[in-house]
Structure 1
Amino acid sequence: MVARDNSNFSFADLEQWLNDHRVTEIECLVPDLTGVARGKILPREKFTEDRGMRLPEAIVAIGVTGEFPSEGPYYDVIHATDRDMHLRPDPSTVRIVPWAADPTAQVIHDCFDRHGTLIPYAPRSVLRHVCDLYAAEGWAPVVAPELEFYLIERSTDPNQPLRPPRGRSGRAETSRQAYSIDAVNEFDPLFEDIYDYCQKMELNVDTLIHEVGAGQMEINFFHDHPLGLADEVFFFKRTIREAALRHEMYATFMAKPMAHEPGSAMHVHQSITDTVSGRNLFSNEDGSPSREFLWYIGGLQKYTPAAMALFAPYVNSYRRLARSTAAPINIQWGTDNRTVGIRSPVATPAARRIENRVIGADANPYVALAATLACGYLGIKNRIEPSPECKGDAYLSEYQLPRSLSEALGWLADETELHSVLGKDFITVYSEIKDIEHSEFMQVISPWEREHLLLHV
Structure 2
Amino acid sequence: MLTKDHFTFSDLENWLNERRVTEIECLVPDLTGVARGKILPRQKFTEDRGMRLPEAVVAMGVTGEFPEEGPYYDVINPTDRDMHLRPDPRTVRIVPWATDPTAQVIHDCYDKEGRMVPFAPRSVLRRVCGLFDAEGWSPVVAPELEFYLVARNSDPDMPLKPPIGRSGRAETSRQAYSIDAVNEFDPLFEDVYSYCEQMELNVDTLIHEVGAGQMEINFFHDHPLGLADEVFFFKRTVREAAMRHDMFATFMAKPIAGEPGSAMHIHQSVLGRDGKNLFSNPDGTASREFYWYIGGLQKYIPAAMALFAPYVNSYRRLSRFTAAPINIQWGTDNRTVGIRSPVATPAARRIENRVIGADANPYVALAATLACGYLGIKNRIEPTPECKGDAYLGDFALPRSLGEALDLLRNEKDLADVLGAEFITVYTEVKEIEHAEFMKVISPWEREHLLLHV
TM over 0.5: yes
Alpha-carbon separation, structure 2, partners of 1:277 and 1:118: 30
Partner amino acid, structure 2, of 1:63: G
Partner amino acid, structure 2, of 1:98: P
Shift of 1:4: 8.4
Q: Does 1:283 align with 2:283?
A: no
Alpha-carbon separation, structure 2, partners of 1:410 and 1:175: 39
Alpha-carbon separation, structure 1, partners of 2:365 and 2:141: 11
The equivalent residue for 1:14 is 12
Alpha-carbon separation, structure 1, partners of 2:140 and 2:148: 27
The equivalent residue for 1:67 is 65
**Cα deviations by residue, 1:413-437 (Å, 9 ceiling, x for unpaired):** 1111000000000000000000000
Q: Does 1:184 align with 2:172?
A: no
The equivalent residue for 2:3 is 5
Partner amino acid, structure 2, of 1:246: R
Pick the aligned partner of 2:115 from 114, 117, 139: 117
Alpha-carbon separation, structure 2, partners of 1:447 and 1:87: 44
**Cα deviations by residue, 1:208-249 (Å, 9 ceiling, x for unpaired):** 000000000000000000000000000000000000000000
Alpha-carbon separation, structure 2, partners of 1:406 and 1:324: 24
The equivalent residue for 1:264 is 262
Partner amino acid, structure 1, of 2:245: H
Alpha-carbon separation, structure 2, partners of 1:27 and 1:142: 29
Shift of 1:335: 0.1
The equivalent residue for 2:244 is 246
Q: Does 1:48 align with 2:55?
A: no
The equivalent residue for 1:37 is 35
Alpha-carbon separation, structure 1, partners of 2:323 and 2:264: 14
The equivalent residue for 1:439 is 436
CA contact (8 A) 1:256 1:319 kept: yes
Partner amino acid, structure 2, of 1:442: M
Q: Does 1:199 align with 2:197?
A: yes
Alpha-carbon separation, structure 1, partners of 2:205 and 2:55: 38
Partner amino acid, structure 1, of 2:430: I
Regions of 4+ moved over 6 Å: none
Shift of 1:5: 3.5
The equivalent residue for 1:377 is 374
- Tell me the SS of whatever aligns to 1:325: coil
- TM-score, normalization by structure 2: 0.99
Alpha-carbon separation, structure 1, partners of 2:139 and 2:308: 18
The equivalent residue for 1:357 is 354
The equivalent residue for 1:98 is 96
Q: Compute the RMSD of aligned alpha carbons.
A: 0.8
The equivalent residue for 1:216 is 214
Paired residues, number: 454
Alpha-carbon separation, structure 1, partners of 2:413 and 2:290: 23
- Tell me the SS of whatever aligns to 1:270: strand
Partner amino acid, structure 2, of 1:328: P
Alpha-carbon separation, structure 1, partners of 2:135 and 2:162: 47
Pick the aligned partner of 1:310 from 299, 307, 310: 307
The equivalent residue for 1:57 is 55
Pick the aligned partner of 1:136 from 127, 134, 137: 134
- Identity level (%): 81
Shift of 1:277: 1.0
Alpha-carbon separation, structure 2, partners of 1:362 and 1:78: 25
- Tell me the SS of whatever aligns to 1:108: strand
**Cα deviations by residue, 1:167-198 (Å, 9 ceiling, x for unpaired):** 00000000010000000000000000000000
**Shift in CA distance, 4/347, structure 1 to aligned 2, threshold 3 Å:** farther
**Cα deviations by residue, 1:49-77 (Å, 9 ceiling, x for unpaired):** 00000000100000000000000000000
CA contact (8 A) 1:4 1:202 kept: no
Q: Does 1:27 align with 2:34?
A: no
Alpha-carbon separation, structure 1, partners of 2:170 and 2:113: 55
Q: Does 1:386 align with 2:383?
A: yes
**Shift in CA distance, 327/352, structure 1 to aligned 2, threshold 3 Å:** same
The equivalent residue for 1:415 is 412
Shift of 1:8: 1.1
Partner amino acid, structure 2, of 1:169: S
**Cα deviations by residue, 1:368-406 (Å, 9 ceiling, x for unpaired):** 000000000000000000000000000010000000000
Alpha-carbon separation, structure 2, partners of 1:208 and 1:324: 24
Alpha-carbon separation, structure 2, partners of 1:382 and 1:273: 18
Partner amino acid, structure 2, of 1:450: R
Shift of 1:85: 0.5
Alpha-carbon separation, structure 1, partners of 2:452 and 2:336: 40
Alpha-carbon separation, structure 1, partners of 2:396 and 2:2: 43
User: Unpaired segments of 5 or more residues in structure 2?
Assistant: none
Shift of 1:324: 3.5
The equivalent residue for 2:449 is 452
User: Unpaired segments of 5 or more residues in structure 1?
Assistant: none
Shift of 1:7: 1.3
Alpha-carbon separation, structure 1, partners of 2:90 and 2:303: 33
